[in-house]
């Protein structure tokens, strides 16, 4: 366990360094490329209930994706992280305007307040068809390196017990986040695929 943790920590530092060296302009450019790939993706097109993260500075920008979800009339869910545990809920977002009203967390991302109990949680109703996932690093085998809190792994475990079953998972990545191999443990859940700008 200790060796795995150390390997993950070292890789996290390396990737953070690589991503930090990418200019904001380049982050935006790659985010557009990744968004366009997503908008053509059959799984995205056929999904009705979609969860998407509100990005941090070192993640693929998701504003255009949120707008597209609403434009196509899909149902949108965003994460609420409980920082004291590895629990996360996916709560319904009604429209783009609502994003601006959400409080900022210590991580500088917006999320519904803990006392905001009126929002629909995806798993209490119809489940999810697709989760668009953040992460620090990814390899081509579907291994994902998160930030070490286990939010998404824990949530996907909960999805498995929902009648709808586990949603399809697509990670959104800068090409600087790709690794030859991500070290994983038994609790790390594979993602179905990662979208990034490849050398097409």
Considering only CA atoms, which of 136, 151, 150 is closest in space to residue 51? 151
pLDDT confidence bin for 199, thresholds 50/70/90: low
Residue 151 labelled as part of a binding site: yes
Residue 54 labelled as part of a binding site: yes
Locate the DSSP E strands across the chain: 49-51, 75-81, 88-93, 130-133, 137-138, 144-145, 168-172, 193-195
Using one digit for the tens of pLDDT, what is the confidence trace for 144-171? 999 988 999 999 999 999 999 899 999 9
Using one digit for the tens of pLDDT, what is the confidence trace for 27-49? 999 999 999 999 999 999 999 99
Is the pLDDT assigned to residue 83 strictly greater than 90?
no
Is the pLDDT assigned to residue 189 strictly greater than 90?
no
pLDDT at residue number 84: 84
| Residue ranges in the chain assigned as alpha helix (H) | 2-20, 24-39, 42-46, 63-71, 96-101, 151-160
The structure tokens 């917006």 sit at 110
Q: Among 19-23, 43-47, 103-107, 168-172, where is mean pLDDT lowest? A: 103-107
Classified by CATH at the fold level, domain 2-195 comes out as: Rossmann fold (3.40.50)
Residue 165 labelled as part of a binding site: no
**What is the distance between the alpha carbons of residues 47 and 24, in angstroms, rounded to a whole number?**
30
Residue 39 labelled as part of a binding site: no
Q: Among 15-19, 110-114, 175-179, where is mean pLDDT lowest? A: 110-114
The structure tokens 């990814």 sit at 138
Q: Taking every pair of C-alpha atoms in the chain, what is the biggest distance, in angstroms?
A: 46
Residue 152 labelled as part of a binding site: yes
pLDDT at residue number 200: 54
76 and 97 Cβ atoms separated by less than 8 Å: no
Residue 147 labelled as part of a binding site: yes
34 and 195 Cβ atoms separated by less than 8 Å: yes
Residue 190 labelled as part of a binding site: no
pTM equals 0.95
Considering only CA atoms, which of 122, 128, 88, 124 is closest in space to residue 105? 88
**What is the distance between the alpha carbons of residues 97 and 103, in angstroms, rounded to a whole number?**
13
Coil vs helix vs strand at 33: helix
């Amino acid at each position: 366990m200790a060796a795995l943790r150390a390997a993950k920590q070292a890789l996290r530092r390396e990737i953070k360094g690589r991503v930090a060296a990418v200019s904001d302009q380049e982050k935006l450019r790659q985010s557009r490329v990744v968004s366009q790939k997503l908008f053509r993706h059959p799984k995205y097109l056929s999904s009705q209930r979609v969860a998407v993260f509100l990005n941090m500075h070192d993640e693929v920008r998701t504003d255009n994706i949120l707008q597209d979800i609403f434009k196509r009339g899909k149902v949108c869910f965003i994460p609420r992280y409980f920082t004291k545990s590895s629990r996360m809920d996916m709560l319904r977002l009604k429209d783009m305007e609502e994003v601006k009203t959400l409080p900022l967390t210590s991580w500088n991302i917006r999320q519904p307040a803990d006392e905001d109990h009126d929002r629909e949680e995806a798993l209490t109703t119809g489940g999810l068809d697709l989760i668009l996932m953040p992460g620090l690093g990814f390899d081509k085998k579907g291994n994902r390196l998160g930030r070490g809190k286990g939010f998404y792994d824990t949530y996907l475990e909960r999805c498995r017990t929902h009648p709808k079953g586990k949603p399809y998972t697509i990670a959104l990545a800068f090409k600087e986040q790709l690794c030859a191999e991500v070290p994983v443990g038994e609790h790390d859940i594979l993602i179905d695929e990662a979208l990034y700008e490849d050398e097409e």
